[in-house]
Amino acid sequence: MLPGLGDKYADVATAISEQGNKHVIGVVVDVFGGIWKTKNKSSSITFTIKDRDLNNGHTWDGLRIKYFSGNESQLPPVELGDVVLLKNLYIRSLNGKPMGVAAEQKTIPWAIWRDDPDPNSRGAPITGPSPWEPYPSESKYARGLLAKSTGAEGAHGAKGFRDEGAERIAAPRSHTVVHASMEKPRIAKSFSLIRDVEERMYTSLVVEILGIIPNGHERALVYVTDYTANEGLPSYEYDEEAGREGDEFNYQGRPKPAKGPSKMTIQVTLWEPHSSFAQNNLKKNDIVLLSNVQIKRSRVVGGCLEASISGNRNDPRAVNVEKVDATSDEHAQELVKRREEYLEKHPEKRKLEDTDDPAKNAKKRNRPVPKAKETKREEGQGVLPTSFRSQLNDKIQASHRHRPNRTIEAILDKDSHNNASPDAIEYRLPFQNLSYRTNVKVVDFFPPNLADFAVPEKAENTLDTSPSQTHGDRITNWEWRFCLLVEGAEPVPRGTQREQMKLYVAGPDAVHFLQLDAADLRKSPQRLSELKERLFYVWGNLEERKSGISPDRLSQRPFECCIQEYGVPCSHALPDDRELGCSQGDCFGWERRFGIFGTTIQWEK
């Protein structure tokens, strides 16, 4: 038990000796190798915490923690010197040594307190995997531990700790390295050119977009330049023979980087909501203002400078990406001048731009458009309108509009899952972490009663303690969880049966889709009525047809949606046999599933 906290909280020494499920809090004294990918494509990070003897120069007396997540953005972004709290962490013995394990299937809330010299910082903790507010007693203890590690013990605390033992501890193996960037103060600048950016800087940039590449449904990679050179940037010379990290034989290939000036192009990772804004509103050659840009180094050995824009804790809806008018903005005008100077020195780049941009191709632009042939009609014959039921439903909007649509049949086709090992052993992947854009039509749903579309979350995974959701000592939150049976909207040859897909709607993606928070629908008829009104846009009179109320023909219309493919542990194997996989066919212990994301019902009252 820790002073001022409950029985579930344990100091590091007690957690190591007693093991089991504990709330632990400590100072991060080691981060091993950054983020790693497991064989099951999940992400993990390994770090060590201590709450005493921070100046003894070693980590073996601390608690090593391994945190897994299917979503890399939900991993705790720990750095040396942080104070981190993990709730319900399972501590076990692995190879005779204690280790805290946060399994991917479990929700382990975490909070990070950091000594941040940024004058704009309010000192609020970073929390995850979902935002939550630590208790005042937790924050008080954490800040006291942070002050102890950075104040009284000074340079011999957690931050000077790794320097003292640096000669005795080997660097991480393989392709990752931990940079001791905590030794450098953070630099805050209102505006910078790319040539002036350096590691641990927060700044604003006025840049030209060279390419936008989606990277999962929560982030995007944007390649930008302002035509100033920085030796810390990559040359972006593409090596056809090189494979991805961990895929030296290049079986799965890799995307070709955006065409950009060498040493002048920086990769910026955009997280939500900036990612969706960029993908839906920006295009190549747009000039934009990027605000609150964090400059850092890539985790690979000899990593180049890169940048990222994260969400705003104080205003999660704020977007730090803004289009700039080159005719009125001084920084944009200077960028245009530098671009013209660069193209004059490299005329082949201008030719390449003209080839890539159809709008600049005069021949194509001036080519006359042949008139469409008029269809002969009999006297009195009218023009039949396109079937209303075959038109896409404009009340439902999907993001990632730059992506080409794929049919349901193409998505379900498993040929892309076939793979071969370096020893020429062929096998089939049970699933892949991919996302798609398609047109679908709902033909059925489950459960059959709409009142069951929302289910209670487990109490131990709930962090909201509002009085309306408290029952005794248990806290009940509600989340959406239902399934749509969909099929493609494209015509199929006569005699061919349409492929159908189970499309799961759950969690935050469901809230985004419905624009409605979940609740106990059996006790909230108003919320149930709102749900029915929204779902009418999705499936028309399908519910009435299923219940026998409406004899009319089905009125549902197809709509655009984004789909993510993922895997869940299969139901064949026993829990103790998960590590050995499943013996049934090519299951490998996983089931392939599809879920909706990035799709919204444009609800109007």
| CATH of range 184-333; options 2.40.50.140, 2.40.70.10, 3.30.565.10, 3.40.1390.20 | 2.40.50.140
- DSSP E strands in 454-558: the ranges are 454-456, 470-471, 474-475, 478-488, 500-506
| pLDDT band per the 50, 70, 90 thresholds, residue 351 | low
Residue 333 is predicted with a pLDDT of 92
Q: Is the pLDDT of residue 406 over 90?
A: no
CB 238 within 8 A of CB 256: yes
Weakest-pLDDT range from 127-136, 175-184, 531-540, 565-574: 175-184
Token pair for residue 223? 């390649």
Is the N-terminal amide bond of 119 cis, ω within 30° of 0? no
CA distance 17 to 24: 13
CA distance 106 to 69: 9
- pLDDT by residue (tens digit) across 56-107? 666 778 899 999 988 888 889 888 888 999 999 998 887 778 889 998 888 8
HSE (side-chain half, CA atoms, 13 Å) at 3: 6
CA distance 287 to 549: 55
| pLDDT band per the 50, 70, 90 thresholds, residue 473 | very low
Q: How far is CA 503 from the centre of its chain?
A: 20
| CATH of range 9-178; options 2.30.30.40, 2.40.50.140, 3.40.1190.20, 2.60.40.10 | 2.40.50.140
Residue 53 is predicted with a pLDDT of 79
What percent of the chain shows pLDDT beyond 70?
Answer: 70
Q: How many residues does the chain have?
A: 605
Q: Give the count of beta carbons closer than 10 Å to the beta carbon of residue 96.
A: 5
Q: What superfamily does domain 396-601 belong to in CATH?
A: Nucleic acid-binding proteins (2.40.50.140)
- pLDDT by residue (tens digit) across 164-199? 333 333 333 333 333 333 344 555 557 899 999 988
Contacts of 391 (CB under 8 A, 6+ apart): 557
* Sequence letter at residue 40: N
Q: Do domains 9-178 and 396-601 have the same CATH topology?
A: yes
Output phi, psi for 461, to 5 deg. Answer: -95, 5
**Where do the structural domains in the chain lie, given as residue ranges?**
9-178, 184-333, 396-601
Residue 116 is predicted with a pLDDT of 60
Residue 573 is predicted with a pLDDT of 56
Collapsing DSSP states into helix, strand and coil, what is residue 99?
strand
For residue 295, which of 230, 354, 345 has the smallest C-alpha distance?
Answer: 230
Mean pLDDT score across all residues of the chain? 75
Is the N-terminal amide bond of 273 cis, ω within 30° of 0? yes
Residue 528 is predicted with a pLDDT of 94
Q: Is the pLDDT of residue 248 over 80?
A: no
Collapsing DSSP states into helix, strand and coil, what is residue 31?
strand
